[in-house]
Every structure is written in structure tokens, then in C-alpha cells.
Chains A and B, each alone.
Chain A
Amino acid sequence: MQDWGRGPSSEDLEKKVIEIKNHLKNKFGPQKGILPILFVIFLVVIGGYSSMYEVDTEETGVVLRFGKFSTFSEPGLHFKLPFGIDQVYLAQTGRVLKEEFGFRTVTPDVRTTYTKKGLEEESLTLTGDLNVSDVEWIVQFQIADPFKFIFRIKDPVGTVRDIAEAMVRKAIGNANVTDVLTTERAQLSGEIEQNLQTTLNNYDIGIRIVTVKFQDVTPPDPVKAAFNEVNEAEQQKESLIFQAREQFNREVPRARGEAKQALQEAEGYAVERINKARGETNRFMALLTEYRKAPNVTRRRIHIETLEEVMPRLDEIYIMDEKGGGLLPLLPLRKTMEGGAKQ
């Protein structure tokens, strides 16, 4: 805001009067009739020029008449009394104004660039547990009352900045570093917004806070690595647990399956065993029935059948005569059949 220790109105008037006086002194005399006309034209031009003003779309004009508040003016072209009698001050009431803390926008664009250089003092903040956090935030506000905004306080924006810093430090000083960095951001910014508005309301300077928002809230640079290490460790912990769970999930169901397999096999064995037993005993019972009908014949038949099966496998058969006591070699049947003698 410009400094107004001295109102421009009286000075302007004085200057103009001196101009007019000089004008009259120099020109008076020779061309008698023209001078008053020139003088009138001069006044009309000056008056006309200084009695019009424009208020932009997002602005509100505050009109002072002889330094005293007269009226507000809406956007558009307006007339006022000339020669500094009416003075107009414009305030951007329609616009949401923004102040940045801890960083500055260098070039606002699609990809906005920021700088943090030299703003550490602004952004480094003590937390309640006496740690340091690097906090960036913005404050958006609107001019709710242009008259108060201009005439109640000398440096309204500077005041918003000062009080915002004080309130942010108050809120962060009341929290712990881990909360500030993670969970409590939203709650804190709400609290700051409220405190800021309350304080500004005490000054009654016609400012309405739209929002207070944290941007980057980080640990200070030298500590960042350690904070990242914690995140890493947290990830490591998760991954160790997942690894173990994975192994668990890989091995336990397989073991369950294998157990089921063994059980099925055992059941298979059981069925087989019993079926075999049944089959064999059934066969035996059938044989027994036949055997009982003709025991000797059956017995001999079975004997012979067995011999038939066994004999061809043998190389040599010896017969022991009880009386002779000698060992009679029986002809090696197979060799004979094959037509070769064995020594």
C-alpha cells in the first residue's frame, strides 16, 4: 500500500492554483478576449479528465469526498468530483489472494516452478517434542470489506503473513513431529485457519480467510535420509512378513495335500488287503467244497498241477532212495529236450 501520511488532494490543488496564476500573469494583457476562454477550456479539460474513473470486474472502489468516506463503487465507468475533491481507492474484492510461506512460485504455468532458496527460516518450525520440521503452506484470503482493508490497517498483507506464521508455529508447537508429518495435517490446518481468522477479526480489518493449506511438510533436509530409512525399514518389515507368509502358504497346503495322499494310499492298501483276503479265502472255500467231495483226487490233482508248473524251471532233479541211500540223478529233462548234454 502506498504511504498516505500526506493526502494528495491539497497538494494537487495548490499546484494547479500556482499553474493558473502563472498562466494568467504571462498571458494577461495583449490578447485580451482569448485568455478567459483558454482558461475555461483548460479547466474543463482538467476537470473532465479527472472526474472519470474505471473500476475493474474484480475490484470495488472506495470513494472519499474531502477525505471522508462517501460511497463504494461497483465495476464499470464512474464519475466523481474533480480536482481531488473525490478520491477513489481500488481493492481487489472479487479475487482470492494467495500468500505463500516457505516457498515462492517463480513462474506459474502448467508446470509451475518453485523456489525455496533462503526461506528456511520461514519454513523450519519447532514441534512440541522439540524436533524441527520443514513446513510449507499457503493462505488464501479475500477482502471482505474494502474500506476496512484500506483504512483500518497500514499493511494488511504483511499482517496476514505475520499472524499466519505465528499461528502455524503455535499449532505445530502443540503437535509432535510424526503427527505433523503424517496424520494431523488436515486437523492442524483447520485449527490454524480458525485462529488466524479470530485474530484478524480482533483487528477488524475486513479480511476473510478462505483457506489455510499445508503444501510440503517434510523433515529438514539433513534428517530426510533417516526418515526415509524408517520408511524403508517399515517396508522391509512388511516384506519379511510377506516372505514368511508366502513360505507358509507354499508349504503348509502342500503338506496337507501330501497327508491326504498318504491317507488315500493307506485306504487303498486297506481295500486291497481286504479284497485280497476275501478273494483268497473265497477261492479256498470253493476249493474246499470241491475237495470235500473227492479229497484224494483233488489232492493229487493239485499236486500234479503244481509239479507241472514247477518242473520245467528245474535244471536237475535228484531222487533219494531211502533203501539204497544213493543219490540218483534224474535226467535233466530240459537239457535232453534242448538236445545238449551237460558235463
Chain B
Amino acid sequence: MKAPIFFVIIVAVIFIGMDGLYVVNEAEQAIVTQFGKPVSDVVEPGLHLKIPFVQKVNRFEKRILKWDGDPNQIPTKDKRFIWVDTTARWRINDPLLFYKTVATERGAQSRLDDIIDSVVRDAVSGRLLVELVRGSDYKAQDSEAERFEVEGVEVKKEELVGREEIFAGILEKARASTPEYGIELLDVQIKRINYVEQVRVRVYERMINERKKVAAEYRSEGEGEKAEILGKMGRELKEISSEAYRKVLEVRGAADAEAASIYAEAYNQDKEFYAFLRTMESYKKSIQQNGRLIISTDSDYYKYLKDAQ
């Protein structure tokens, strides 16, 4: 019966030995407690020894952790209700303090809820919506037209700050109270800012009206340009036709004048003969078909007529 006892002892030794060994991996940090009392510094990754059964290993995340806030409905300083959704990164930088104060990640999350929510709420309700949305280097399209009022009192542009500054303020304030829990807050980001439903409907209405205004402007511009083009066309048409009229008359007039001078020059050679020819010509032209002719017996005409017959 020697061998079985030997085996049992070996197994027991192994079993006890195993509890004296522990592994901390790269994602973890640990502290060793003895009956609840911390007895070690922060333990780094690797294989370590402890007193079996007496000491206990408490492991904590070493990695960066995420805090995600509930979206909150907060009024801004200019009384606009908005949803603000915040997110933050944090890590446990003093596991011992962390273990003493909040013990678990869940505890830490709820502590962070309290801290960050209130800081964000203060920051949002103390600022105008534009300050939360815009950065400090925002350039307005029509900066002259913009006015900001809080309860009838105008807020000057120079007094506005950008969101970077507000966020920096939030982080600084929230950071101030986390070290007492062994927590390091890396950053706080506002993930979403949005209008609450009722406000959103009104914003949509405003956007629609603004778009309609732009559309009307386009249409009127179109009409205007059309009228301008047609006006220009009318002017050109008048210009073209009147100029043509003038030129036509000038050309005709010049021709008439030249013709007149040609005639005059020729006919002046023998006015009497010209008159005779013109008379003859006019007979040819003026006597119609089936007309009557009355001739005096002493006229040349009669004489010629007699001769002709």
C-alpha cells in the first residue's frame, strides 16, 4: 500500500503548488491580497508565485476601456433642447486605489456616469448651440446676418467659443475628479448632438422655407435673364431693321439722283426735241385700248394722220 499513498502525496503537492503559481497576461494588471489586505505592488504580466490558499490574486484590466453615456436631453443656454451622446476612454492607472474605491469595472462605470454626465450637462447648458456645434475656425456663409440672443440679450460674436474649447473644459473638469478612484480619463468626446424630435420638425420646416426661398430666387433670376436677353434681341432687331431701312433709302436716293443728273445732262442738249419725244411717248402710254381720239384739223397730228392714210 506504499505506492498509492505516494501518488496521493504527489498529486496533493502538485495541486497545492498550482495554487501558488499564477499567470498575469498582457491585458491585465493584478494585486495580491492576503485575507483582504493588499500585500504586493502592481503585478506585471508573466508567471508569478504566491502563498497558496492564503493569498488571493485580484486582476484588473490594463487596457483602455470605454465609457458610453446614455444620450441625455439637455437644454442649451439659448433654450434649445438637444440630445447629447457622450463617450469617453479611461483606464485603471492605480489598481490598488481602484480596488479600494470602486472595486469593479461596473462600479467605475457608474461613478463615471455621475462625473461625466454632470460635467457635460453643465457645459452644454452654459453654452449656445452654435458653440457646441461649430469649431472655432468656422466660417459662416453670411456672417453679417447672424445674431445670437439669450433671453433678449444679444451675445456678441467675439464672446462665442468653439467646441474644441468646450470639450477641453469638459475633459479638464471630469479629469479632476477621477484620480481619487484610481482612474485616468483619457478623453471625453461628444459623439452625437441632435435636436429633439419637436425641434427637429421645426428645423426641417425652416430648411424647407429657406430652400423655397432659394428656388424662388433661381426662378426669378431665370425670368430676369430671359427678359434681358429678349430685350437685347428687340434692340438688335430694331437696330438692324432701321439701319437697313436707312441704307436702302440712301442707296436708292443716290441712284435716283445720279439718274436725274444723267437725264438732265442729256436732255439739256435739245429741250424742244426732248419735249417732242416725250409727247410721242406719252401718247403711246396714255392711249388705252378702245379709246376715243379727238383731233383738231389744224393740228400736226391731223396732218400726219392724213398723210399716213
Cβ contacts under 8 Å, B240 to chain A: 252, 255-256, 259
A130 and B130 contact, CB distance less than 8 A: yes
From A5, A125, A304, contact of B59 by CB (8 A):
A5
By the criterion CB–CB under 8 Å, are A313 and B288 in contact? yes
The interface on chain A, measured as residues whose beta carbon lies within 8 A of the other chain's beta carbons, has a size of 132
Residues of B within 8 A of A9 (CB): 23, 25
Q: Looking at A28, A284, A322, which has the most chain B CB atoms within 10 Å of its CB?
A: A284
Judged by a CB distance under 8 angstroms, whether B198 is at the interface is no
A125 / chain B contacts, CB cutoff of 8 Å: 194
Give the distance in Å from the alpha carbon of A95 to the alpha carbon of B296 in the complex.
129
Q: How many A-B residue pairs have CB under 8 A?
A: 364
CB distance from B131 to the nearest CB of A (A): 10
Quote the shortest CB–CB distance from A125 to chain B (angstroms).
8
CB contact under 8 A between A69 and B133, given known A274-B258, A276-B259: no
Interface locus among B33-41, B117-125, B134-142:
B134-142
**With the chains together, A159 CA to B27 CA distance in Å?**
17
Contacts of B276 in A (CB 8 A): 299, 302
Are B262 and A277 in contact, with the CB atoms below 8 A?
yes
Determine the distance from Cα of A165 to Cα of B189 in the docked complex, in whole angstroms: 9
Instruction: Indicate if the CB atoms of A174 and B256 lie closer than 8 Å.
Output: no
The answer, yes or no, to whether B265 is at the interface (CB within 8 Å) is: yes
Complex Cα gap A67–B26 (Å): 6
B100 within 8 A of A: no
Q: Are the C-beta atoms of B212 and A318 separated by less than 8 Å?
A: no
B247 partner residues in chain A, CB cutoff 8 A: 262-263, 266
* Contact yes or no, A284 B252, CB < 8 A: no
A316 contact set on B, CB distance < 8 A: 292-293
Q: Are A281 and B59 in contact (CB under 8 A)?
A: no
A320 to B302, CA, bound (A): 9
Q: Which residue of A lies closest to B232 (CB)?
A: A248
**Known A237-B219, A277-B259, A302-B276: A317·B204 in contact at CB below 8 Å:** no
Contact stretch, chosen from B107-115, B168-176, B266-274: B266-274
Which B residues are CB-close (under 8 A) to A87?
Answer: 25
Quick one: given A67-B26, A202-B186, A226-B207, are A319 and B294 in contact (CB under 8 Å)?
A: yes
CA of A216 to CA of B15 in the docked complex: distance in angstroms? Answer: 62
- A113-135 interface bits toward B, Cβ cutoff 8 Å, 1 = contact, 0 = none: 00000000110111111111000
Neighbouring A residues of B245 by C-beta, 8 Å: 262
Interface string of A180-193 (1 = CB under 8 A from B): 00000000000000
Please name all residues of chain A whose beta carbon is closer than 8 Å to the beta carbon of B3 when the two chains form the complex: 28
Q: How far is the CA of A17 from the CA of B36 in the complex (A)?
A: 28
Chain A 239-283 near chain B by CB (<8 Å), digits 1 or 0? 111011101100110011011101101110111011011101110
Report B153 CB to chain A, min CB distance, Å: 20
Q: How far is the CA of A277 from the CA of B138 in the complex (A)?
A: 85
Is A154 interfacial (CB-CB < 8 Å)?
A: yes
Find chain A residues with CB under 8 A from B297 CB.
Answer: 319-323
B163 sits at the interface (CB 8 A): yes
- Do residues A174 and B138 form an inter-chain contact, with CB atoms below 8 A? yes
Q: With a CB–CB cut-off of 8 A, which chain B residues contact A260?
A: 244
Q: State whether the Cβ of B229 lies closer than 8 Å to any Cβ in chain A.
A: yes
Given A121-B194, A262-B248, A310-B293, 6 extra CB contacts under 8 A: A7-B28, A162-B189, A244-B227, A255-B241, A277-B258, A284-B277
Sample of 21 A–B contacts (CB below 8 Å): A14-B18, A67-B24, A121-B83, A132-B194, A147-B26, A199-B187, A203-B186, A229-B212, A233-B218, A240-B226, A265-B248, A273-B256, A273-B258, A304-B304, A304-B308, A313-B288, A313-B289, A314-B291, A315-B291, A317-B295, A322-B297
Binding site for B on A (CB under 8 A): 4-7, 9-10, 13-14, 17, 20-21, 24, 28-29, 64, 66-69, 87, 121-122, 124-132, 147, 150-155, 158-159, 162-163, 165-166, 169-170, 173-178, 199, 202-203, 205, 219-220, 222-223, 225-227, 229-230, 232-234, 236-241, 243-245, 247-248, 251-252, 255-256, 258-260, 262-263, 265-267, 269-271, 273-274, 276-278, 280-282, 284-285, 287-288, 291-292, 295, 299-300, 302-304, 306-311, 313-323, 327
